[in-house]
Amino acid sequence: METLTCNLLVLGAGPGGYVAAIRAGQLGIDTVIVEGEAHGGTCLNVGCIPSKAIIHAADEFEKAMHFAGENVLGISASAPKLDLSKTIAWKDAIVGRLTGGISGLLKKNKVRTVNGWGQMVDGKTCDVKTADGTVRVTAKHVVLATGSELIEIPSLPFGDNIISSTEALALDGVPEKLVVIGGGYIGLELGTAYAKMGSKVTVVEAAGRILPQYDAALSKPVADSLKKLGIEVLLNTKAKSANDAGTSLVVETADGDKKLPADKILVTVGRRAKTEGWGLSDLDLTMSGRVIAIDDQCRTSMTDVFAIGDVTGEPMLAHRAMAQGEMVAEIVAGQNRRFDKVCIPAVCFTDPEIVTAGLSPDEAKDAGYKTKIGIFPFAANGRAMTMEAEAGFVRIVARDDNDLVLGIQAVGKGVAELSAAFSLALEMGACLQDIAGTIHAHPTQSEGFQEAALKALGHALHI
C-alpha cells in the first residue's frame, strides 16, 4: 500500500474542501485533498452552476418565444426552436472549464490530489481506493468536507422516469409532462426552467404554500409567476406512489387520491448531510442530530479534526462552506480566526429571484426587537420598468431604537446581484441613515435599496 504523509488532509473537494486546500497551499501547508469524483462537488458539477446554465437557457428561449408573438416592445421574430442536446453540451463545457480551473489552482498552490473514494480509518488516517490501488494518507490535521446527498422518497426510488435534480440537468429532451415533487427552491428553479422550455409542469407540495422557508410576502411574486407560466401547483398534497413505468404519480389531496400523468417525475424534497460511506463510524465524533457538531472554529470533538460545509448542517450553502474552509486553513496555519458572521445570504433563483440576508420581520420580532420596516416596490423603480420587471420589492428591517439594520430581503428580476450589497451593509453594522445617505446610481434597481431605507425613516422620495 502506498502511503502519503501531510500536514493537512482534506476529505472532499466540493466548495468548502477545495477552498480549504487552496488557502492552505497558499499558506505553505503541505496539503493532500481526496475526491472520488470531479473537483467542485455537487455545486459545480450537478447543482449550482449547471442549474443556473439551464435556467439561463430557458429564460432566453422564453424571451424568443415572447418575441414571436405580440409584445409591447414591437419586436418580431420567427418561431424559435430548442435543441436541448446543444444546451446540455454548452452547460457541460462550462462545468468542465470550472472543474479544470479548480484542478489547476490546486496544482498551482502545490496541493496534492488523490483521486478516489476515501475511508477514514481514524482521526489521522484515510485509505483511498484509487484506480491503481489503495493509497493511505496520514495527516496531522484533517478537514471533513463530505458534503450532502439527495433525499430519496422510499416509495419513489430513483430510476427510469423517476429522476433527481442530477438527471434533470442532463435530459436528452424536454419532457411533455413534468411532475415536480417539492415546492422548495430546487423544485421551483428546475420546474420553472422546464416550463419555459415547453413542459407542462405540475408541482406537488405537502405544505400550504410554496417556498415555506421564506415568508409569504417574498414567495407571492413567485407564485404569481408560476401561474402566468401555466404551472399547476398542488398544495397540501403528498406524493404516494408511481406506476412501474414511472408514467403516472398518485398523490394524496384533501379531496382524495389523484393520478397525475407524467413523462418524468422529478423528486426534489431536499438534501441531507453525507454521513455514510467514508468512515464516520470509525471516528469518535460528537453529533448534533444527523450532522457533525462543530464549534465556532469548525473544530469537532476530536483533536485536530475539523468539519465544514453541508456535513455540519444548515444552511447548506456553497458560500458558507467556502468561508469555513478558508477560515480552517488559516487556523491550521496558526492564525486566530473564528466564524462570527452577521449574516449568510441566501438566493433562490426562481422567476423572480429571492434574496435574504439577516433577520426577517418575524425573526427580528421573535428575537425581541422592536422594529421599523421599509419596503420599496420595483413598480416604482424606473430601471425595473424599462426591463419589464416590475414585480417584487426591497425590504429593510431595522431596530426601532437606533436604526441598526437587522435584515434585508428582496424579490425581483436579477436581485441576486444585490446580495453582496445587502451582506456588506449588515457586516459593516450599517444604520438606515448609512444606506439612505449613500448615493445609488440611477437608473438601477439598487435604488430600491436606498428608497427602502428612506421609507423606513419615514421619507421615501419616489413613493
Which residue spans within 101-152 are E strands per DSSP? 112-115, 117-122, 125-130, 133-144, 148-150
Three-state DSSP class for 41? helix
- pTM score, whole prediction: 0.96
Catalytic positions: 442
pLDDT of residue 431: 98
pLDDT of residue 1: 86
Report whether 312 contacts 298 (CB < 8 A): yes
pLDDT of residue 245: 84
pLDDT of residue 153: 96
Query: Cell numbers 441566501 correspond to what residue?
Result: 346
| Rounded CA separation 208/180 (Å) | 16
pLDDT of residue 344: 98
Q: Does the bond joining 80 to the residue before it have cis omega, within 30 degrees of 0?
A: no
Residue of 3, 33, 34 whose CA lies nearest to 110: 33
158-195 burial string, b = 16+ CB within 10 Å, else e? eeebbbbbebbbebeebbebbbbbbbbbbbbbbbbbbb
Structural domains for the chain: 2-148+272-332 (3.50.50.60), 162-269 (3.50.50.60), 346-457 (3.30.390.30)
pLDDT of residue 370: 98
Please name every residue paired with 305 in a beta bridge, in sequence order, or none if there are none: 142
| C-alpha atoms less than 13 angstroms from C-alpha of 331 in its C-beta half-sphere | 22
**Tens-digit pLDDT string for the chain (463 aa):** 899 999 999 999 999 999 999 999 999 999 999 999 999 999 999 999 999 999 999 999 999 999 999 999 999 999 999 999 999 999 999 999 999 999 999 999 999 999 999 999 999 999 999 999 999 999 999 999 999 999 999 999 999 999 999 999 999 999 999 999 999 999 999 999 999 999 999 999 999 999 999 999 999 999 999 999 999 999 999 999 999 888 999 999 999 999 999 999 999 999 999 999 999 999 999 999 999 999 999 999 999 999 999 999 999 999 999 999 999 999 999 999 999 999 999 999 999 999 999 999 999 999 999 999 999 999 999 999 999 999 999 999 999 999 999 999 999 999 999 999 999 999 999 999 999 999 999 999 999 999 999 999 999 999 9
